[in-house]
Structure 1
C-alpha cells in the first residue's frame, strides 16, 4: 500500500472498498481517509468502519485491483500496449501476466491477483479446484443470452410418420458432421462434439483401440455414412490411416474429406444437407436461421424439406422456435469473492465510448478485458461458477462432476476417469474435493457437482436435509459383509428378546445414522408405539453422539461396544462386522466372550435389526431423468469394466480394491457391484428381511422426536432462546 498520493474513486462504493481493503490488506481504517470538499463527522454506515459520504471522500492510500492477463498468439501484445496507460493514469488497476488461464485461476486462488477473463470451460476447472470465485460479467458480442445454441437439423425424408426415438430416427442415416476445433470461433469443441455424439451413439469400448478410434468406430457403426471432413487427429500420417480404416465417415464428402472440402465447417455441413448428400447435422441456431434465410422473411427455396430434430425424437419446422441440444455460455469476467463487488463497480464505469474510442485508461481496460466489441454485461448479483453454468442447457452435462472427501480419494477418482476414457466412457468424470461427506452432500444439493458417494449412515440425512436420492447401491450378496445392525447384550443380563430392552440403557454409534433409525423403526412397528412414546419412554438412557449436543463417548461403533463392555450400557446397536473384528482382536478378553447377539422377532436366521448396502451414489432430486440415467450408465459401465465381474474382470484398474495401499477409498472393498434399488427384489436379496433402504424409501416424515437433525450449535441456540424468553 502506498500512502504518497490522493486518489478519487468515483466508480467504487465506499463500503465495498473499505470492506475489501480491511479483509485484504488489514489496513483500511477511518484514520486513512479525508474528505475532499468538507470534513464530515465519522459515522457508522451499513456495518462498515467509519465512513464519510462517498461523494466527498478521497483516500490517502492507493487502492489497486490486479488483473491477470493472458497474451494471445500473434505479434500484437495487449499488455505492453495498454497496461502502461493504466499505470500512468493511476487507474487503480494493475496488470499481472499469467502463463495461461488456469495459471490465472491459481493466482486468484493464492490471492496474488483479483480478477481476469475466462472461458466457460475454465469455470468447471475452478469448481474442481474449489477456488472461491464469482462471475461478475459476461463478455457478450451479440445481444443474446448464450454464445452458442447448438441445434440438430434433419432432412424430413428420414422422419417417420409417427413419433419415434432419437436412436430410431438417426440409425443408418447420413451425417454431415460440422467438424470440431479448439478454435473458439467454431461452434463445437472436441468435448462438446463428443458429448453430442454420446446422446445418440452406442459406445464402442474395444480395449485394443484408442479412445479416438473407439469414438470413430462408434460413429461408423451407427451412421450409414458421413462427411466428417477436417483432421481427426493432429498427426497427418495417422489421420490418413484412420480415414482409410473408416472410409464410410468420408463417403458423403464432396472430394477430399479435408478442411478444404465444400462440406467442411459450419456452413459446409448445411450445404451437405441441402445438396442432399446427408440427412442430419448439428449447427449454431443463428447460423441455421441465417443460412435458410428464416430471419429475412424470405426463406431459402426448399427450406420446408428440413426440420429441427429435438433430443426427445420429436421435430419442429424451421420457422418455429428451435429445440436446443446444448447451450454454450459467453466468456466471463471472474473475480475472487472479496474483490467481486469492486470489480463489478469498476466494469460499470466502462461506456460505449470508452470501448470504441477512448484512448485513456477506460479504453485500455476495455481492450485488456477483450471487450472492445461489446460492453461487459454485469450480473446482479455476481454468481458462483456452477450457478452461472447451470443456466446453459447441456453444457455442464458434458462432464459428470464427482465429489470426494480426501486428496487420496480425488486421486483415485481421477485415475478412474482416465481409465474410463481409454474405453470411451462418456461423459467423463471430473473430480473435485471437499472437506467432509457433509460438504460433498451440500455440493450435490447446491448443484456444485453431480454426484458423491457415502455409506448408509448418511442415507436419511441425504434424503431429508439435502434433497438427494441414492441412485446406485454398493451391493454384496454375502450377508456378513453388508452393513448389518445387531443388538448386542451381556448374556448375564437376562435379556432374551427385543421387548426386554424397554427401560434399559442403549448405546448407538452416532445419532441420526443407520443404527439410530433402524432401531426406532423396528421398535415403533413391533411394539406398536407412537413416535412420542418411543422417544420419551422406551429406553431409560440413550447415548447417541450428536444428539442434543451431548457426547458421552466419541462417535463410532467400537466406542458404542466399549460402553456395553464397561457396563455403561445394557445394549449396543452396532454392525456384525465391527463386533467380529473386535472379538478377533481381543480373544483373551473374558468380557467380550459374554457379549451375545439379541435376535429380533422374525429374523432368527440372520439375527440383525436391519441390513443395508455398503454405500450409495447420491444425486440431487431435481435433476432430469435423462441426466439421472446418464450418471447411472457411466458408473455401471465403470463397474462392469473395473469391478468384480469374473471372468470379465479388467486388470487395468480396480474400483473396489486397495488404492495406494489404502482400503475403502471412495468405494468399499467388499462391494461386488453397483446396482439400482431394483436389485433388492431379486434373489438372494429378496430373501433377506429388514432392509434399511427399502424401509426408508417408504418413509415420508423423518421428524419423529429427535429425528429432525439437531446439531450441537443449534441446540445451544435453542437453550439460549429459552433462557432469553424466561428472563424477559
Structure 2
C-alpha cells in the first residue's frame, strides 16, 4: 500500500502522462562484496525497467547505507545485528521489516550455550572456579565476534584491572587465574610477537589444546566443533559452544551419552542437553532488511513478496538481498531497533559490559570535520566488535596542530604524511607506531624529474640550476640533501645552508627566511606548493628539475588535462634523471603515512594501541573476512578520498615494508641522519687536522732542540 504522500505524487504524475506508473522507485542501498558477491553490476541494471519498484544506490559499506537512510538518499538495505547496534548508538532511526534466514524455523542465526561434564561437580556458576575450560578460540571473528566469544567469561570471571597490564592482558590474566587450565587457541592479539609472549606467560590457557606449544587455529580443539571435542575427549570440564553445533556433535558422535553432559544455565541451574527449550546465554540475531520509517510498510510488502520462484525485477532484488541467507521472513510488525534487539537474549547485555574504571581511551587526532566524522564511525564500529581500549576522536585544524596536541598530551595518536615525519620527530618528539603499507607503485618513491630536452645528465649538472621541491624538510628535500652529501657535491655543515647555495633561484615552499638565499625566488606559494606544485613549477619553465614522488607524475598529467581544456601534457613531457644503468633510478622511498605517538609513551600503552589498530585493519581493512564490510578504513568516505588513512593502503604494519620480502633499497628513514653524518665527518676532519698540526709541531720542536 502506498503512503498518502506517494499516492498524491503518483496520481499527479498519472494525470499528467495519462498512464498509471510507479513514478518513484524505492532506493535499495547496495554494498558489493568480494568475488561472487560483487552483485551490483549483474543485477542492478535489471531494475532500470519501468515496471520495477526498486532501483539501486551503490554504497561503499553498510554504515554508508545507514548514513544514506538517515539522509533520505536511500530507502532500505541489509544490515547485521552489529550494524543495528551502531545505528542505535548513533541515534539513526530505521525500522526492521524482514529477516534473512538460513531456514524459516530458527528464530536466531545461532544461540550459544555452556555445556558441562556432569562428573566435574559443576552445579552453578559458583562451581566454575578451578575447572578446565574449552573455548572455541579466536580467528574467525566474522562468524563469532569477540563480544560473543568473551561473553561467558565476562559473565562469570571477576575482571582484572591491573594498571601495569594492557586491557587484553588483563582479560587473559583474569581467565587464567579463574580456570585451572584451558584451550583458547588462535590469535589472542594481532601482533604475532606479542601473541607469542602472552601465550608463553599464560601457558596454561593453552594447556588443554592438542598442541599446547602452538595453540593455533590448526589445533584439533580450535573452532566451533573444537571446543566440544575438547570436552567430550575428556580434556575439559566445560565448553562454550553454539547450540546447533551441540546438537550435531552429540547426535553424530557414536559412543557419546548425552546424559553425561548438561547445560549450565545463566540462572545457576542445570538442564539436560535434550531439553525442549534449552537455556541460552546469548543469541546472534539474523541479518535484517531495515528501512526508513516513512516507507517501512511498503518495503516490507515488496520484500515479503520475494521467493525463490519470482521472476523479472523481483528476482534481481532477491539476488541483491541474499548473501548465504535464502529465506525471507516477515517481521510480525515493522519495529524499531530497540524492541527488535531487546528480544534477542543476552545480545544487548553482551554489547554493554563495562570495562575497568577509569576506562582507557585512545584519543585520535583528526584534521577536518569530515575526517572527524569518519573517525567517529570507526569508533562506533570498533565498539560493537569488542575492540578495547575505547576510541575517541578529537578535531584539530591541521596535522601540525595535531602534533602539538600530542606533544601536550591532549591527543594520543595522529596519522602523519611522510613529508611531515622528520618534523614530527625533531620538533614534537613523536615516534612511529605503525605504517600504512601499500603496493610498490603507491609508495612515495623520490625521483629527480627534468624535461626531455634538458642537458642535465648527472647530479653534478644540477649545480646552479633552478630546483622545485614540494615542501621544505619533506621527503624530497631530505633525500636530495643526503644524495648531494653522499656524492660530495655538498660537504660543509650545516647542510641546510649548503643545499641552498648549491641550487640557483628555486622554489621550496615553507623554506625558512634565514635559509632562503636565492632558493625562493621562483616560488609562487599557491601555485607551486606540494607534489603537483613542484611539477607545475617544472612544466611552466620556472624550474629545471623537480624532486617528487614518481607516482605523482601520471596523476599530475591526468589532473592538468582534466582541469584545463588547453592542457596537452603527456607523460613523455617528463624525464626521470638516472645516472646509472645498473642501479635503481629512485633516490629514496617512504610509506604514504605513519601512525605516530609520543616518543615517551609507555610500552604498555604502545601494545594496547598497536593491537587496536591491527584489529581494526583485520576487521575493516582490505582483507576483511565478511561478505560485505560494515566500515571501510582504507577508502572513500562520503565521496572524499584519503581521509584518516590513504585509500591505497593495503594494511597497517609495525614495519614499513608491505611484505617481509619487500627489499626495495634506499628507505627514507635511513636518510634522516645526514646532518649527524656531516657533523661527525667534520669532527673527524678537524680531529685529523689537529693531529697533523700536533705532529708537525712536535717534529719542529725536536728539530730545533737537535
TM-score (norm 1): 0.47
TM-score (norm 2): 0.48
The answer to which structure, 1 or 2, has the higher relative contact order (CA under 8 A, 6+ apart) is: 2
